[in-house]
Structure 1
Amino acid sequence: MVFNNAGVMREGRFETLTDDDFRAVMQTNFFGAVNVTRAALPHLGATGGRLINIASVAGLAGIFGFTAYGSAKHALVGFTECLHYELPRQGIKVHLVCPAEFETPMVAELDSYRTPENRRHTLAIPRTPLDIVVADTLRGIQRDRYFIVPGGRARLAVLGLRLFPSIARQLGARIVAKLEWKRPA
């Protein structure tokens, strides 16, 4: 098994994020998975292995302040979707895991500087406890599920995003609009 779970985050309004911020996030969150997958492919094919890519709910929907992070996770979702069709011929099973936010050192750092809009928008789905993320991910892999969303609340939110995208966007816009914010100068 190969778990592609490396990640970095840059949060902020688009106009405050630099090209270097975008490159750093894409390099780790997307190209890191591409590079590890490429290196592991011969071994996974020889052993009938599994590739598990850890993306995010932010890879399924836009989130205020996550233009860099969300873009990289969207790319990882697309990459994984393509591999889902390509790799079974080599005997490799592919899994996509999209957790909502959960407690990690990366999230603790994010909490020290995140925008109020991002906090409110992201936490519309309450944080999933780490033990549930791990248990639901392992259970999904054992059951050969391609698409795994750990946590009941997160699964319900993702179902709503997928079945009712226009309504989900309207709700997201309302959540963000409740905070009065001014554009940076």
Structure 2
Amino acid sequence: MRKYTGKIVVITGAGSGMGRSYALELARRGADLALNDHDEAALMQTASLLPHATRVVLGSFDVAVREDTYAFADQVATALGNADVVINNAGIEGGGQPIWAATESDYTRTMSVNFYGVVHGTRAFLPQVVATKGAIVNVSSIFGLVGTPNCADYNASKFAVRGFTEALSAELLHAGVSVHLVHPDGVATNIARRDDSKVMSDKYLTTSPDHIARVVLDAIGTRRTRIVAGRSARRVWFGSRFLPQRLMAHMTWREMADAIDRSNYPAPSARGGH
């Protein structure tokens, strides 16, 4: 979809990074916007960057909270009308620990935002998008293509988005709704907070979010259900399809060697003969 003039577009996680890039590019293309972020100050900053003529609705809440997402859908319908496009973009980084060292709360929190946030956003706005014959765009990750060390909770959340969206695409095949699954390249955003995440960001997450936003927005409404955006993402997608899993694991360790916290390796062994 290249013409967004007058279209109503919902974006979660619009306070920074990819979400902000989607918002600014869509405003430039003439869309009306419904923007969400859990960080109210960041959301207001995004809103301040929009052209004065842009109609916008803001909702500061956690997408993991189902009731707040459904209330936002009602707010959007009342203030702007039924959504034409929903971009479920909100996400957080994982705990950054191997499986045996991660806590239950790491898995619960990562899944609640990265996966259930997508589920809530899809289900809350689905009646509107069906009515407008619009599009649902769910953002997975390059980590939704291949498993990586110290990222099991994040991998699981992004693979879950992948499975959910592929099923949604099949279910809406005859509904006149476009469904897109986005696997973006390593994108330079401020999602990384830990020291090891910063190493990862500085070395690998270098693609401009503005570039990815343009690629994704141009693909919405086309027959491209899966949008693999960026050179590194395309390499990983190719490898995940055609290379043996064990070889991919070796390649991942080699590629990410200086960005992986090894303090919890090797894996703990059983004690006392059990």
Q: TM-score interval w.r.t. the shorter chain?
A: 0.7 to 0.9
Report the equivalent of 1:28.
113
Change (3 A) 1:103 1:126: closer
Q: CA deviation at 1:103?
A: 1.5
Larger radius of gyration: 2
Q: Provide, for residues 60-91 of structure 1, a one-character-per-residue CA deviation record: whole Å limited to 9, x for no partner.
A: 11011111111000000000010110012222
| Alpha-carbon distance in 2 for matches of 1:114, 1:16 | 17
| Alpha-carbon distance in 2 for matches of 1:43, 1:68 | 32
| 1:171 is the counterpart of 2:254 | no
| 1:156 is the counterpart of 2:239 | no
Aligned AA for 2:252? G
- The 3-state SS of whatever aligns with 1:103 is coil
Change (3 A) 1:40 1:50: same
- The 3-state SS of whatever aligns with 1:149 is strand
| 1:183 is the counterpart of 2:264 | yes
TM-score, normalised by the number of residues in structure 1: 0.84
Q: Which has the higher contact order (CA 8 A, sep 6+)?
A: 1
TM-score, normalised by the number of residues in structure 2: 0.58
| Alpha-carbon distance in 2 for matches of 1:137, 1:32 | 20
Gaps of 5+ in 2: 1-84, 269-274
Q: How many residues matched? A: 179
Q: CA deviation at 1:38?
A: 0.8
Report the equivalent of 1:18.
103
Change (3 A) 1:146 1:102: same
- The 3-state SS of whatever aligns with 1:79 is helix
Partner of residue 2 from structure 1, selected from 68, 86, 110: 86
- The 3-state SS of whatever aligns with 2:264 is coil
Gaps of 5+ in 1: none
- CA RMSD after TM alignment: 2.6
- The 3-state SS of whatever aligns with 1:183 is coil
| 1:129 is the counterpart of 2:208 | yes
* 1:136-155 mapped onto 2 (5 Å cutoff): 136-155=215-234
| Alpha-carbon distance in 1 for matches of 2:137, 2:210 | 18
Whether contact under 8 Å (1:6, 1:29) holds in the other structure is yes
| Alpha-carbon distance in 2 for matches of 1:115, 1:141 | 31
- The 3-state SS of whatever aligns with 2:238 is helix
Structure with greater helix percent: 1
Change (3 A) 1:21 1:8: same
| Alpha-carbon distance in 2 for matches of 1:98, 1:47 | 25
Report the equivalent of 1:76.
161
Whether contact under 8 Å (1:59, 1:98) holds in the other structure is yes
The 10-residue stretch of structure 1 (19-28 or 82-91) with the greater mean CA deviation from structure 2: 82-91
Report the equivalent of 1:61.
146
Partner of residue 125 from structure 2, selected from 40, 47, 70: 40
Q: CA deviation at 1:57?
A: 0.9
- The 3-state SS of whatever aligns with 1:88 is coil
Aligned AA for 2:87? F
Change (3 A) 1:12 1:132: same
